[in-house]
Chain A
Amino acid sequence: MIRRARPSALASLLLLLALLAPAWSTARQYLQLFVSEPYLELHTGPGRGYPVFHAVPRDESVDVLFRRTDWFKVRTERGVEGWASLKDMQKMVLADGTRFHFDLGDRAGFTDHRFEAGIFAGAYGGASLVSGYASFSFNRQLALEGAVGSFYGRYSNGYTGDIGLAHVLLPESRWSPFFTLGIGEVYTEPKATLVQASNRSEATAYVGGGIRFYLTRRFFLRAEYKAHWIFTKRNQNEEADEWKAGFAFFF
Chain B
Amino acid sequence: MESRIRILLLTAVLAALTGCASVRSWFHHRPASTASADQAADQNAPPPKVIEPEVSRRTVKVPRIRSSNFELGADYGVISIEDFGTHPSYGFTLAYHITEDFFFQGEWGRTRAGQTSFETLSGIQLLTESERRFTYYDLSVGYNFLPGEAFIGRGIALTSAFYFLGGVGGTDFGGDTKFTVNFGAGYRVVPVDWLALHVTLQDRVFQSSLLGTTKLTNNLEARIGTTVFF
Shortest beta-carbon distance, A53 to chain B, in Å?
9
Contact across chains for B159 and A50 when beta carbons are under 8 A apart: yes
Contact residues of B: prevailing secondary structure: strand
How many A-B pairs have beta carbons closer than 8 Å: the answer is 95
Question: Which of A45, A151, A217 lies at the interface centre, i.e. has the most chain B CB atoms within 10 A of its CB?
Answer: A45
In the bound complex, CA of A69 to CA of B148 (Å): 17
Contacting pair A67 B65 (CB below 8 A)? yes
Q: How far is the CA of A142 from the CA of B179 in the complex (A)?
A: 34
Stretch at the interface among B9-17, B56-64, B72-80, B111-119: B56-64
Surface stretch bound by A, among B21-29, B95-103, B217-225: B95-103
Q: Which of A30, A127, A189, A219 contacts B98 (CB 8 A)?
A: A219
Contacts of B193 in A (CB 8 A): 66, 73
Shortest A157–chain B CB gap in Å is 5
Chain A residues with CB under 8 A of B125: none
Question: What is the chain A residue whose CB lies nearest that of B138?
Answer: A130
CB distance from B114 to the nearest CB of A (A): 23
* B63, A67: Cβ atoms closer than 8 Å: no
A121 within 8 A of B: yes
> Can you list 20 A-B pairs with a CB-CB distance of less than 8 A?
A31-B63, A44-B149, A44-B157, A45-B159, A47-B101, A47-B161, A49-B146, A66-B66, A66-B193, A67-B67, A67-B69, A68-B69, A70-B99, A94-B60, A96-B59, A98-B60, A102-B65, A127-B179, A128-B168, A128-B179
Known: A94-B62, A130-B139. 16 other contacts (CB 8 A): A31-B63, A45-B149, A47-B101, A47-B161, A50-B159, A66-B65, A69-B69, A70-B99, A121-B168, A128-B168, A130-B138, A152-B170, A152-B178, A157-B176, A157-B177, A191-B176
